[in-house]
A and B are shown apart, each in its own frame.
Chain A
Amino acid sequence: MDAATATTVDAAPGSGKDLLLSATDVTMQFGGLKAVNDVSMQIHTGEIVGLIGPNGAGKTTFFNCLTGLYKPTSGSVEFIGRPLPPRPRKVVREGMARTFQNIRLFHNMTALENVMVGRYCRTKTNAIDAIFRLPRHRREEREATARSRELLAFVGLEKHADTLSRNLPYGDQRRLEIARALATDPKLLLLDEPTAGMNPQETREAEDLIFRIRDLGLAILVIEHDMRFIFNLCDRVYCLVRGEVLVEGPGEVVQNDPRVIEAYIGTPQIVEEEGNADA
């Protein structure tokens, strides 16, 4: 039954209808703090979904629950009709990849090598193949290199393939992280503040990039603080406040919801926090 569901979804990518991710009542508790409280979320193929909320609302914690870094205290996450294993590398194999709020590239590897690390989970050769340089190993290495160069070109970094990632400008590092995540052949891409620290020009480029990724048939879940960016981009938006979903719906609905406005700018205290975050 499960396998059958998976096959149907695979057979119709990008149809924009199939349920890809279904999180039900996900709760993550740290001691006495419920960082994520009863959050439910559905994402369909070909959809761009936004996740917004003030600092500390539990957005990144929710990401960590999805990607297997945390095991939710309660609740369940199903991906293509199957429960997600709470192990990061298995989650990646299932087809979910992410980027990070604070860039987490492998700094002493080149851009190309970073992307090739992402290919790891889609290759099969083992140490024996590698040691004896069997044709299988060489073919797979060649394919991984070719695919990684393709992805670098896709995000516009083909010229920097051999640059150490720590020497790339900030915006390029963000794009490299996206290329690395794409290298795992995801069906759902999670972006954690992809435009943090970017100037308006770079933000527009990022927007364009995300649309192009969606056009490849992927679904995207994106955390952002830049509201214009979110409402330009997203088909639907979830607003998380203190670990709970406050509002969910199309961008314009969420944008004008008084509770959302209050959550962001309603009390002087939060205004102050936002100010600090921007500084």
Chain B
Amino acid sequence: MEFFFQQLINGLSLGALYALIAVGYTVVYGIVQLINFAHGEIFMVGAFGAFATWVLLGSPTTWSLAAALFVLLPAMILGGVVVSVAVALLTERLAYRPLRTAPRLAPLISAIGVSVFLQEFIRLFFGYIPGMPDSKRAIPFPSVEGISGASFQIGQVTVQMPAVFTIVALVVCTLFLWFYVNRTKTGRAMIATSQDPDTARLMGINVDRVIMAAFAVGAALAAVAGVAHGLRYGNIDFRMGFLSGLKAFTAAVLGGIGNINGAVVGGLVLGVVESLATSFIPGQFGSTAWKDVWAFALLILVLVFRPQGLLGAKVVDRA
């Protein structure tokens, strides 16, 4: 039983990571019907932004617990968010907006191009930025006192602090997002645009700005996920966005793409399924090597039996 709860906790924290990224896919899809395949790279860039912030702060390693939690960590998150949002807005402006009226396939291919570009850019150029390490291999992510490597026990169950960070981040971000979508004029404009962009425009909504807001919100959450990923695995590399991005996309589809709640639920379900599958399926099929197989098998099952996703809805209805 302890083993089950242990795996459940692991799954939920992994799922929270997926969920944070998945929201970005779903918000952008809800508004421009574009699968932003570069979103995984926005997540990766966020992690590198957080790392760069740490370097800019003088690569501190010996800060006290309070300083680490209340200065270093927020600064790293902020740095990551700034970089992610900037890159996301730039790609929207340069790679997607010119294709707004083009056939659906064009921006999709453009997105794949952006994805490859960002990976290669980080791989080749990050090391040339003064003070930054070579990024052709994984870079050790700075450890934050009180989170990295820390854990506590509930009975027999070990809870890692990075897992707590991820889950808390998801809860806080989801609450913020709910407020933003349902209680602000930009949020209302987003819902309106997702339902009928032409009418929204004719009611005086700046649709370009709404689309930028959608990209920015998704990128901000992806950057938080980037930090969570770094703290959880202890290192980051230029390829990290690919699989995580694909998993998060799966989560978004699982929950019903376009539906924010769906992305959160889909992420958590995917994380838990992955975690439980590797623990309870007997034999070699239960080894960690098979976890991606089970995750994507779940996607196929959902697509066959419930193509609209777990929570359905084609548009950003309610956050």
Q: Which residues of A contact B (CB under 8 A)?
A: 67, 69, 88-89, 92-93, 97-98, 100, 104-109, 113, 116-123, 125-127, 130-131, 137, 140-141, 144, 180-181, 184
- Does B188 lie within 8 Å of A98, measured CB to CB? no
* Chain B residue, CB-CB nearest to A108: B317
- B125 CB within 8 Å of chain A: no
- B129 CB within 8 Å of chain A: no
- Does B196 lie within 8 Å of A89, measured CB to CB? no
- Distance A31 CA – B240 CA, assembled complex (angstroms): 50
Provide the residues of chain A in CB contact with B186, threshold 8 Å: 126-127, 130
B191 in complex: contacting residue of A105, A108, A140, CB < 8 Å = A108
A144 in complex: contacting residue of B185, B200, B203, B205, CB < 8 Å = B185
B214 CB to closest chain A CB, in angstroms? Answer: 12
- Does A127 lie within 8 Å of B191, measured CB to CB? no
Give the number of chain B interface residues (Cβ < 8 Å).
Answer: 26
Residue-wise, chain B 155-198 has the 8 Å CB interface mask toward A (1 for contact) of 00000000000000000000010001001111011011001101
Known A-B contacts A92-B204, A121-B205, A130-B180; A107 and B185 likewise in contact (beta carbons under 8 Å) = no
B residues 189-219 touching A (CB-CB < 8 Å) = 189, 191-192, 195-196, 198-207, 213, 216
- Distance A38 CA – B319 CA, assembled complex (angstroms): 48
Provide the residues of chain A in CB contact with B202, threshold 8 Å: 67, 69, 88-89, 92, 98
The 5 A-B residue pairs with the shortest CB-CB distance, nearest first, are A121-B204, A92-B204, A130-B184, A88-B201, A104-B199
- Does B198 lie within 8 Å of A69, measured CB to CB? yes
- Does B315 lie within 8 Å of A117, measured CB to CB? no
- Does A120 lie within 8 Å of B315, measured CB to CB? no
- Distance A100 CA – B198 CA, assembled complex (angstroms): 11
Interface centre among B201, B203, B315 (most CB of A within 10 A): B203
- Does A120 lie within 8 Å of B317, measured CB to CB? no
- Distance A277 CA – B11 CA, assembled complex (angstroms): 59
B189 CB to closest chain A CB, in angstroms? Answer: 5
* Chain A residue, CB-CB nearest to B189: A120
Interface centre among B188, B191, B198 (most CB of A within 10 A): B188
A116 in complex: contacting residue of B176, B185, B206, CB < 8 Å = B185
A180 CB to closest chain B CB, in angstroms? Answer: 7
- Does B184 lie within 8 Å of A141, measured CB to CB? yes
- Distance A131 CA – B178 CA, assembled complex (angstroms): 11
A249 CB to closest chain B CB, in angstroms? Answer: 30
- Does B183 lie within 8 Å of A106, measured CB to CB? no
- Does B207 lie within 8 Å of A141, measured CB to CB? no
What is the interface of chain A mostly: helix, strand, loop, or mixed? helix
- Distance A100 CA – B196 CA, assembled complex (angstroms): 13
Known A-B contacts A89-B207, A127-B213, A141-B183; A106 and B201 likewise in contact (beta carbons under 8 Å) = no
What is the interface of chain B mostly: helix, strand, loop, or mixed? helix
- Distance A129 CA – B206 CA, assembled complex (angstroms): 18
- Does A107 lie within 8 Å of B195, measured CB to CB? yes
Known: A89-B202, A118-B203. 13 other contacts (CB 8 A): A69-B202, A92-B202, A93-B204, A106-B196, A106-B200, A108-B195, A108-B317, A109-B188, A109-B191, A121-B203, A122-B204, A127-B186, A141-B183
Provide the residues of chain A in CB contact with B184, threshold 8 Å: 127, 130, 137, 141
Residue-wise, chain B 20-55 has the 8 Å CB interface mask toward A (1 for contact) of 000000000000000000000000000000000000
- Does A120 lie within 8 Å of B188, measured CB to CB? yes
A120 in complex: contacting residue of B180, B185, B216, CB < 8 Å = B185
Known A-B contacts A106-B192, A130-B186, A144-B185; A120 and B204 likewise in contact (beta carbons under 8 Å) = yes
- Does A180 lie within 8 Å of B185, measured CB to CB? no
- Distance A113 CA – B202 CA, assembled complex (angstroms): 16
B203 in complex: contacting residue of A126, A131, A180, CB < 8 Å = A180
A64 CB to closest chain B CB, in angstroms? Answer: 9
- Does B188 lie within 8 Å of A117, measured CB to CB? yes
* Chain B residue, CB-CB nearest to A118: B203
- Does B315 lie within 8 Å of A108, measured CB to CB? yes
A61 CB to closest chain B CB, in angstroms? Answer: 15
- Distance A144 CA – B204 CA, assembled complex (angstroms): 15
- Distance A137 CA – B67 CA, assembled complex (angstroms): 32
- Does B201 lie within 8 Å of A117, measured CB to CB? no
- Does B206 lie within 8 Å of A89, measured CB to CB? yes
Provide the residues of chain A in CB contact with B203, threshold 8 Å: 92, 97, 117-118, 120-121, 180-181, 184
* Chain A residue, CB-CB nearest to B202: A88
- Does A100 lie within 8 Å of B199, measured CB to CB? yes
* Chain A residue, CB-CB nearest to B200: A117
Jot down 10 A-B pairs with beta carbons below 8 A, ordered by A: A67-B202, A92-B203, A92-B204, A109-B191, A109-B192, A119-B185, A120-B203, A120-B204, A127-B186, A144-B185
Interface centre among B176, B205, B216 (most CB of A within 10 A): B205
Residue-wise, chain B 59-93 has the 8 Å CB interface mask toward A (1 for contact) of 00000000000000000000000000000000000
- Does B188 lie within 8 Å of A141, measured CB to CB? no
A177 CB to closest chain B CB, in angstroms? Answer: 10
Provide the residues of chain B in CB contact with A127, threshold 8 Å: 180, 184, 186, 213, 216
